[in-house]
A = this chain, B = another copy of it.
Amino acid sequence: MSRKAAQVATARDDLLAAGLAVFDRDGFDGATVAAIRTRARASNGSFFHFFGSKKELAGTLFLEILARYHAAVVAAVDESCGAREGVARLIRAHLDWVVNSRREARYLFEISRSEWTEGIRGAQRAQNSRLAEAVERWRAPLVARGELLPMTSSVFFSQIIGPAQIFCRAWLSGRDRADPREQAEILIACAIRAVVAPDVADKAGEAV
């Protein structure tokens, strides 16, 4: 089964990769199953053997790419980094991933539609909460120590990702040509003001 399993995996993965490429080039409506099949050198039968429909392939692709994005964000912070440092890293991780994985980001944020993510809603939520949990492991202690202002996890995310996302979407859609990373410093500065507790003018604690 080993060699066969490997072949199956490549056939399936070829289809997924081809799907990403074609969706990126032609959009979801523009992309035809035929184009994806051809690019992956798979027959019609194979396509519908692995995926029940074009939407199902799209949904699978969505979850796979979401996982990669989450991995990139989670890797940005560890328990050793402070409030400002962590905020800066999260924002940079988001901007870097979007720019360096343009295709994937375009798929996640521009092409994918909530309507055909519905069958996958559960898995999506599960992934989201795993991400939230991971970030909370870094954030909660800082809130407890008063270095980060108290707010819910989702509000915190909205402050970190939201503004950056405006620039990312404009860039991904082609509406704006400028690299969103050009805004990194100012976005970080704003986010820090929004969520980090102001210095109390005593660095006493750190000086020990």
Which of A13-21, A24-32, A43-51 lies at the binding interface? A24-32
Contact B114 A174 (CB under 8 A): yes
A119-165 at interface with B (beta carbon < 8 Å) = 121, 124-125, 151, 154-155, 157-159, 161-165
**Which of B110, B114, B161, B186 sits near A173, CB closer than 8 Å?**
B114
> How many copies of the shown chain assemble into the complex?
2
**Which of B115, B173, B187 sits near A158, CB closer than 8 Å?**
B187
A165-180 at interface with B (beta carbon < 8 Å) = 165-167, 172-175
In the assembled complex, 30 residue pairs joining A and B whose CB atoms fall closer than 8 Å, in A order, are A27-B113, A27-B115, A28-B113, A30-B115, A110-B113, A118-B174, A121-B175, A151-B190, A154-B166, A155-B163, A155-B186, A155-B187, A155-B190, A157-B166, A158-B163, A158-B164, A158-B167, A159-B163, A159-B190, A159-B194, A161-B162, A161-B166, A162-B162, A162-B166, A165-B165, A165-B166, A190-B194, A190-B195, A193-B194, A194-B194
| Residues of A bordering B, CB below 8 Å | 27-30, 110-111, 113-115, 117-118, 121, 124-125, 151, 154-155, 157-159, 161-167, 172-175, 183, 186-187, 190-191, 193-195
